[in-house]
Structure 1
Amino acid sequence: MRYAPYELALKSRVSGARSIYRFHTADGVCSKRSFRNAELLLVESLWETDLGHFLSLEANYGVVGVVLADRADAVHMASSSARATRLCERNAIENDADATTTLVADITTLDWSFDTVAYAPKPYTPLSVGQQRIADALSVLRPGGSLYIAASKRTGLTRYEQCLRELAATVEQRSEYDGCVLLEATRPPSFEPPTYATPRELGVEINGVTLSLITVPGLFSPSQLDSGTRLLLETTTIEDGEKVLDICCGYGVVGTYAGRVADCDVWLSDDDRVATSCAECSLRASGVDGTVVTADCAEGVADQTFDRVFCNPPTHAGADVLSELFSGIHDVLAPDGELAVVHRRELDLRAHLSQFDTIERLRTANGYVVLRVFA
Structure 2
Amino acid sequence: MNRSTDELALESRVSGARPEYRFATADGVCSERSFRTAELLLVESLWDADPGRLLVPEANYGVVGTVLAARASSAHLTESSARAARLCERNARRNDADVEISTVADLTTLGGTFETVAYAPKPYTPLAVGTQRIADALSVLGPGDELFLAAAPRTGLARYETHLDEMAAGVERRATRGDWRLLVATRPDSFDPPTYVSPRTIRPEIDGATLELVTVPGLFSPTALDDGTRLLLETATVEDGERVLDPCCGYGAIGAYAGLAADCEVWLTDDDRVATACAERSLRASGVDAIVVTADCTAGVADRTFDRVLCNPPTHASDGVLAELFAGIADVLARGGELTTVHHRDLDLRNHLSEFDRIETRRTGAEHVVLSAIK
Q: Which residue of 2 aligns with 1:66?
A: 66
Q: Any idea what the Cα deviations from partners look like across 1:39-96, whole Å, max 9, x if unmatched?
A: 1111111111110000111000001001111111110100000000000000001111
Give the Cα separation in 2 of the matches to 1:13 and 1:198: 45
Distance 2:157 2:8 in 1: 27
Q: Distance in 2 between the 1:261 and 1:86 partners?
A: 35
Q: In the alignment, what sits opposite 1:133?
A: 133
Contact 1:37–1:178 under 8 Å retained in 2? no
Q: CA deviation at 1:13?
A: 3.7
Alpha-carbon distance in 2 for matches of 1:7, 1:143: 39
The within-5 A match list for 1:201-216 is 201-216=201-216
Q: Please state how far the C-alpha of 1:351 moved relative to its aligned partner.
A: 2.0
Residue 355 of structure 1 and its aligned partner are, at CA, apart by 1.1
SS in 2 for 1:116: strand
Alignment of 1:162-311 (within 5 A): 162-311=162-311
Shift of 1:366: 2.1
Structure 2: runs of 5 or more not aligned:
none
* Structure 1: distance between partners of 2:316 and 2:27: 10
Larger displacement relative to structure 2 (107-116 or 274-283):
107-116
2:3 is aligned with 1:3: yes
| Residue identity matched to 1:105 | A
Q: Matched residues in 2 for 1:3 and 1:330: separation?
A: 15
- Structure 1 moving runs of 4+ over 2 Å: 13-16
- Distance in 2 (CA, whole Å) between partners of 1:81 and 1:121 is 14
Q: TM-score, normalised to structure 2's length? A: 0.98
Contact in 2 for aligned 1:4/1:24 (Cα 8 Å): no
1:2-81 equivalent positions in 2, closer than 5 A: 2-81=2-81
The 8 Å contact of residues 58 and 119 in structure 1, kept in 2 or not, is answered as yes
Matches within 5 A, 1:314-329: 314-329=314-329
Whole-Å separation in 1 of the counterparts to 2:19 and 2:354: 44
Q: Which amino acid aligns with 2:22?
A: R
Distance 2:115 2:355 in 1: 50
CA positional deviation for 1:345: 1.2
Shift of the alpha carbon at 1:289?
0.5
Q: CA deviation at 1:18?
A: 1.5
Counterpart residue identity of residue 159, structure 1: R
Secondary structure of 1:77's aligned partner: strand
Report which stretch shifted further, 253-262 or 10-19.
10-19
Task: Give the partner amino acid of 2:5.
Answer: P
Residue aligning to 1:98: 98
RMSD of aligned alpha carbons: 0.9
Q: Report the CA distance between 1:104 and its aligned residue.
A: 0.6
1:153-180 deviation digits (Å, cap 9, x = unpaired) = 0000000000101111111100011211
User: After superposition, what is the alpha-carbon deviation per residue over 1:311-366, rounded to whole angstroms, capped at 9, x for unaligned?
Assistant: 11112221111111111111111112100011111112122111111111111112
1:2, distance to aligned residue in structure 2 (A): 4.3
Contact 1:206 1:233 in 2 (8 A): yes
Deviation for aligned residue 1:207: 1.3
Whole-Å separation in 2 of the counterparts to 1:91 and 1:345: 39
**Structure 1: unaligned runs, 5 residues or longer:** none
Deviations 1:93-150 (A, max 9, x none): 1111111111111110002310000110111211110110000000111111100110
In the alignment, is the contact (CA less than 8 A) between 2:2 and 2:26 conserved in 1? no
SS of aligned partner of 1:351: helix
Q: Distance in 2 between matches of 1:93 and 1:316?
A: 31
Secondary structure of the structure 1 residue equivalent to 2:144: strand
State which drifts further: 4-13 or 171-180.
Answer: 4-13
Q: Secondary structure at the match of 2:51?
A: coil
